[in-house]
Structure 1
């Protein structure tokens, strides 16, 4: 799983890595290129204090008293977690949300196939509905015929991102406008892909710092699809909640590794060139957009946890406690790939994940990793069905993800502990303009 992006503290710095994935977690100021966060106009009732919380837990009369006390209080401003709003339209942000924004605590990724009788006009109508609903939800407003699932919450950093799969262009008769970057990914030796949980005509990524807000968006968009598209697959994930650590820091993945140290940063001069499609792209409708590679990667946690910390560090190439490279320093210290130990062998082993995935080992190839962890219960043998919903962004998947994954496929020490079980590649157009919808230049151009 291409980790080059072990990351450095992504867009704010929650997309991280030195292991297979897992974003950083702390809430921090958005980077210059990232969409600004603003306070929503919505408000909600104040939270219950310690005594009130205890009453709610006890139940019965205690719960009723605490609930009455809350309802009797005058409304207070939303907390910072609930109040943050991510812009939807191009007037406020160049790219779709959910790419350079800090990672959220809860997320869903879902793919749809257009209905059998759907055509280009039907696809446009669906994307128009979805864009309208996403804009309302991301602003903390309630769409018509709403379920009231998140009625009391603010935007909670909700982001909704839309992508188009390779098959979308066949279904809509737009094959001549399909970018070559959407050519199917090659097969990799570690792949054990389930076609029922891969690909799809349309893809949606949802993220929010409140789980109910995230589910609310998923449910609303699913309802919008009725008659126009049918669900192909859906996966849910999570990250550390903003503010859960004493200071902003890179998150850990389910293997316990600090994960995301080397992500490209929006402040870097070549960031846009690496992550977003340039103005010289053949397909004009994709200029300012990006390509998302999505992989469901199960971690063999039982096998991993049998290894000593020393063995785990050799496999990754970084210290487990602080994420520093084995050659010394802190988490952000560059790896010294030429440093040898007293026995003459490289301090960072030749097959260490961090070494193989490093940009300097891949002609500078870089991608922006923005994953979620997942846990889907336990398998028949009792092993956790858990791992990474790996999502990475790049201007050209062939030069970024494919190049890195081929390298990892040939000798990454971490590969025996991973199983790639689902995959998808999607073209993600730029943000919708005022009054328009995502993908409009393609479908109406």
Structure 2
């Protein structure tokens, strides 16, 4: 119910504030993260579509939380999809992240239980001599054309306007979470040129095919000696370009995952795809629909879980996350 949800978010917000400052939980701390400090810990909360039904707030549910359409690459496990509340915990130290998870789970008491949970990882800070765009488990540089805060239209594409609708989502964002399994045994059978044609970028440095470096502009009209496009028409990087999708853009903040091997001995590994946008119907959905119609990468991936959540703007001093929704 609504009172229980408000009490839960109040407890969780207070605990998150302590842990993100490198302090122990207020009660029953496990000491798992003792001496670790904040370790860049972040804790983010979001609301799923069903949350509004459970709290009697259906009329305040944003239209942007309408269910995502089905896609041909979907093999979704309903038990690991959706949910009322979404919690993302990130830290430079895995022990700090685990400590936060346990603290929040204990604070939930009888108000909430875990529906699904996934672990992801990225390159450790300091692993390279200088900051570099991360690679995914296919070995490809992943995230080259991500929107940047310095872009003039960044806020418009990623955040709900301060005067937007609904008011409680002002300065917030909508997050799409997809567990995308990579069929690595099939992918690794491809030659290097075949892999690069699927993506449309060089594997060595992430440069567009025919380009001089990672950040070089992709020439979509450039042809080779045989008259074919240097960047194939079904290359993943060509299809996902914002200028090929009516300006649709999303801020991608994914994590790799590896959960052992399945009964066939194939790796259960891939990408925890997390993307942020002001409106998923103008961000994730049009791009995914276009990928669905002919992405060369599709035979090598499988979408196994999915969720869409509304993440409100940061809580003001003295507020808890979601207070404007639950008490507005």
TM range, smaller chain:
over 0.9
Q: Which residue of structure 1 lines up, in the alignment, with residue 17 of structure 2?
A: 135
2:188 is the counterpart of 1:305: yes
1:273-317 CA distance string (max 9 Å, x none): 000001332200001000000000000001101100000000000
Q: Which residue of structure 1 lines up, in the alignment, with residue 28 of structure 2?
A: 145
Query: Of 293, 303, 307, which aligns to 1:420?
Result: 303
RMSD value over aligned CA atoms?
A: 0.6
TM-score for both structures, normalised by structure 1:
0.73
1:11-30 CA distance string (max 9 Å, x none): xxxxxxxxxxxxxxxxxxxx
TM-score for both structures, normalised by structure 2:
0.99
1:201-229 CA distance string (max 9 Å, x none): 00000000001001001111111112101
Alignment of 1:369-384 (within 5 A): 369-384=252-267
Q: Which residue of structure 2 lines up, in the alignment, with residue 36 of structure 1?
A: none
**How far off is 1:350 after superposition?**
0.4
Query: Of 79, 102, 123, which aligns to 2:5?
Result: 123
Q: Which has the larger radius of gyration?
A: 1
Give the gaps of 5 or more residues in structure 2: none
**How far off is 1:327 after superposition?**
2.1
Distance in 1, Cα, partners of 2:198 & 2:169: 38
Distance in 1, Cα, partners of 2:44 & 2:115: 17
Distance in 2, Cα, partners of 1:280 & 1:443: 19
Query: Of 238, 245, 259, which aligns to 1:355?
Result: 238
Distance in 1, Cα, partners of 2:133 & 2:158: 21
Q: Which residue of structure 1 lines up, in the alignment, with residue 91 of structure 2?
A: 208
1:243-294 CA distance string (max 9 Å, x none): 0011111111000001110000001111010000013322000010000000
2:71 is the counterpart of 1:188: yes
**How far off is 1:340 after superposition?**
1.2
Determine helix, strand or coil for the equivalent of 1:399.
coil
Q: Which residue of structure 2 lines up, in the alignment, with residue 262 of structure 1?
A: 145
1:110-130 CA distance string (max 9 Å, x none): xxxxxxxxx100000000011
Aligned length: 327
Distance in 1, Cα, partners of 2:324 & 2:206: 44
2:51 is the counterpart of 1:157: no
Alignment of 1:371-410 (within 5 A): 371-410=254-293
Is 2:211–2:217's contact at 8 Å kept on the other side of the alignment?
A: no
**How far off is 1:360 after superposition?**
1.3
Distance in 2, Cα, partners of 1:318 & 1:409: 20
Distance in 2, Cα, partners of 1:234 & 1:184: 21
Q: Which residue of structure 2 lines up, in the alignment, with residue 434 of structure 1?
A: 317
Determine helix, strand or coil for the equivalent of 2:145.
coil
Distance in 1, Cα, partners of 2:312 & 2:134: 29
